[in-house]
Structures are given as structure tokens and as C-alpha cells.
Structure 1
Amino acid sequence: MSQGNSAAEDRRSVGRLLQQARIEARLTVDDVSASTRVRIPIVQAIEEDDFSRCGGDVYARGHIRSLARAVGLDPAELVELYDEQRDPEPVLLSSGPLFDAERIRPEPRRPNWTAAMVAAIVAVVGFVGFTFFSGGGETSPGATAENSPVPGRPGGVAGGEPEAGDPSAAPPTRPQEDEPEPSESAVAAAPADKVTVRLTMDGGNSWISVKDSTGRVVFEDVLRDGDSQTFTDDDRLDLVLGNAGAVQLHVNGKEIDSDFESGQVQRLTYTPGDPEEG
């Protein structure tokens, strides 16, 4: 009987005690690894009393403490048993807290190629948009404005038509002054297959907007008293007069008699042939 107890004592080891306690606690190796952050191969090796994967006695003691706490055993008792069954090794005074358990290190982060591609696409779209809007002020080939400067935006209403009663808001640019007016014979000789509109300011200023048959804005600015502009298109011209009472109209070579009042906003459409108000 005493020989049996002696054999049992001989079989008593750190690995067997840890394995038996884990099984009794109904825990798997994965459970113990997840709770202690000790890798699964090291847990399995320790349960087989193979401490070569620990990297030394200092690390092995740290793993034993962590596993003992996870399965409900006394860490100090198991470390003492380990020291009895191992060759003595000098104890490092400050190493205990540093090596309680080998932590599972996260894998290095891979480059985020998706974010880089998105940034590149955004940069290309931004460049294309900038190029498009920078060159967006050109007029269409179907409609022309004779002797007109590069059109600016009116000062009265940002990016659109002025309010009635504010026809002379200061623009960023204005047409050239002292430019010669087209002669009456030139107006009368307007092509019959096109629509030609001449605007002359008489007695005031007016904000003017002109669109061609495609709907593109070919002129949008303030004309001053005495200024004159002529516009031509194959099919149609749409006008907005911010101060219609100050505008004299010649359409397709004919002067338009109107009773527009000062400060009145008028929207007009003209096509080839006899002038017609739209």
C-alpha cells in the first residue's frame, strides 16, 4: 500500500495537476488560453510537463501562475513543485511581475489599400471638377455676344437674377465704355434665318441675362446707361431684363415698342422671323 502511494507521489507533476484541475473545472485548452492569454501550444506543452517552449524558467513560472489561477489551484504551491522538479536557477528579483504570462501579440497592421484608393479617386475627381469649372465660362458656338467683355455675376443677387427695384447693383466687371454702336443699317441687315437681338441702355442701368437655344447663359451682367450689346442664335434667345424701362430692343432688325416701366423685371423670348414676345 505504501508502495502504491509512493508511485502516486512520483507521478505527481505540475503538468498533470494543471490538466486534471482543468478537466474537473470543465474547461478546454482554448478556454484556458483565452483567459490567460497564453498560447494554446504552450498550454498543451506545459500539461505534458514540457517547459522547453516557455523560453526559460522565469517565463515558465509566469505561465504556471496564470494557468493555476485559471483552473483554481494555488500558484505558489505549483511554482514550488516546479522548482523541486527542475534544476535550481538563480531567481531574478524584478522579473516576477514582468513575466506573469506570455501575451498574444497582435499581427502587424497591413497597409490600408482601400483607403489609399479612395483618396486617389477623390483627388482625381477634385482635379477634374476644378478644371471643368475653371473653363466653364465659354459661350456656346450657337450664340454670340458682339463686343461683350467676359460676363460677371451681378452684385444684387448672388448667382441669379436681381430683385425688382434694384437694377443697378455694382457688378464685378462691366462692358467696355465708349464702344461704337452698330449702325441702323447693320441692325436692319440681320440674317433672316437667325434671331438677332440688340439691347441699348437709354436713361438708366439694367441687369441683363441672355440664354441661347441650348439653355446656356451667354451673357449675365449689368449694362450701364449708353451701353449696347448684340446677341445672335440659330433658333432662340431668352432674355431677362432687370430694369426693363431702361432698355431699347431691336429684334431681327426691327425696333420693339414697349411700355416697360422703370424697375420692372421682364422675361422675353425671341425666335427668327417677326419679333414675338415669349
Structure 2
Amino acid sequence: MSIGNSPEDDRPPFEDDRPSIGRSLQQARIDAGLTVDEVSASTRVRVPIVHAIEQDDFSRCGGDVYARGHIRTLARAVALDPAPLIEQYDEEHGGRPAPTPAAPLFEAERIRPEPRRPNWTAAMVAAIVAVIGFAGFTLFGDGDEGSGKKHVAEGPTPEKTTPKPTPTKTVPKPDPSESAIAAVPQDKVTVKLSAIDDKSWISAKSANGKLLFDGLLEEGDSKTFQDDERLDLILGNAGAIELFVNGKKLEDEFEDGQVERLSYSKGDPEAG
């Protein structure tokens, strides 16, 4: 009988014939026809970390939690089941950390709100304010009643009279041409265009060639132009336009669809 180690201790240690985690990932990547750059691009795991994991160097992962996450991500990228690799990692690195126990729950009966004490100061202030308000209301109410009695003693209340409406004076309408001529300034040339029957395209320029308007005048719309010397007009549909020059309506009969080029200066309207 020998004293020392038992026969079981003399047996050779168990050797794991499984390939390493890095070797498994590398071989699966090669079998899938992927490069390290392609795996890095699809998983967003940096190229140096992929190389290190394939060499079974997990120091660049930043901890066991990140190492497990990288192994799981890389395994899925190369169509490999991550569960056996995670289990192998736990066996080789001391297993998963023990979960942190949850904090004990507080018992509801231990958390009791303190009873609120009556706020006697606020109650007293409210009572004082109420008394002052009542006294003031009574005082002013009595004063109003006394003044009312004196007013009745002086005599009857005068009857209310409804003011009679002021008759509206009818002002005769002046002659349109004379009022229009008086309204426009005499030292300028003024032209008013109104589209009465249809729309019309018009263009208006001042004496110095400045474009005052160039566009469509819709039916019912009006435009008024002024210049110190002269106004040059182009009417695209002259028959639809009612024309006032220096406050005077022109009686020229233009035809529908007719294009007219007109020029007007100060004084009596004169077509150019």
C-alpha cells in the first residue's frame, strides 16, 4: 500500500479535443468565403478585434460581457451557432458572473406619511380678511342707501327723452366728368383703366420709358397711373376697357379684340 496520490490522480488530465473559439470562427468565415473586412463591415466589429478573437485573444474586447457579445455577433455573421461557443467561453473563463440580487422591496406599512398639522396662521388670516370685507361691504352699502333716499326727496326723476334722428340731407350728385376733372392734379397726367365687359391685357409706361404695369386686367378690376409728363398705353382688348384721362371719360369706341397704342399728356385728353 503506497502512501501518496491515489491512482485516479495519476491519470492524465482530460484534454478538450474541440477547436478553440477563434479557430472555429476563423474556419467558419473561410468556409463562408468572407474576408475579415467583410465580416467587420457587416457586424460593425473593428478589424483588429476580429483578428484578435480569431487568435483567441479576448483582451481587446473590454471585458467578458463584450467578449460574449462579439462572439455571438461574429458567429451569426458566418452562419455558426453561437450557443456552443458562448458555453465554451464560459468554461474557459470561469463561467458567467453571479447575478446581482435585487434590492428588497419596501413594505408599504413602513412608509407612512406624517399627519398634517392644521395651519392656524392661515385660518386666522382668512378670518380677519372675511371680517374686514364684511364690515366694508356693510359700511358702503349703508352709504349708498342714504344717498338714494336724499335723491328721491329732491324731486321726481326726470323722464328720459329719446333723441330725434337728424334728417339726412340729400346731396345732389355732381356731374361725373366735372368732379373727376377737379379731383385729379392739374400738373400731372392721370389715366384710369377699368375692365367693364371682359378681361384685357394692358401695358403702361411713363415718359422716361419706365414700365408701370404689364399684365392682365380682369373684368371688374381697375388700374390708375400718373406721370409728370406723359403716359404710353397698349390695350390688348380695347373694346373691354373704359378709359378716363385727366378725370375725363373718353367716348372713343374701341372694338373687342382690337389692339390700341395710346399716349396721353397733361390737359385735355389727346390720343396719339
> Do they fold alike, i.e. is TM over 0.5?
no
User: Where on the TM-score scale, by shorter chain, does this alignment land: which range?
Assistant: 0.3 to 0.5
Return the structure number with greater helix share.
2
Greater relative contact order (Cα < 8 A, sep 6+) = 1
- Give the number of the structure whose alpha-carbon radius of gyration is greater: 2
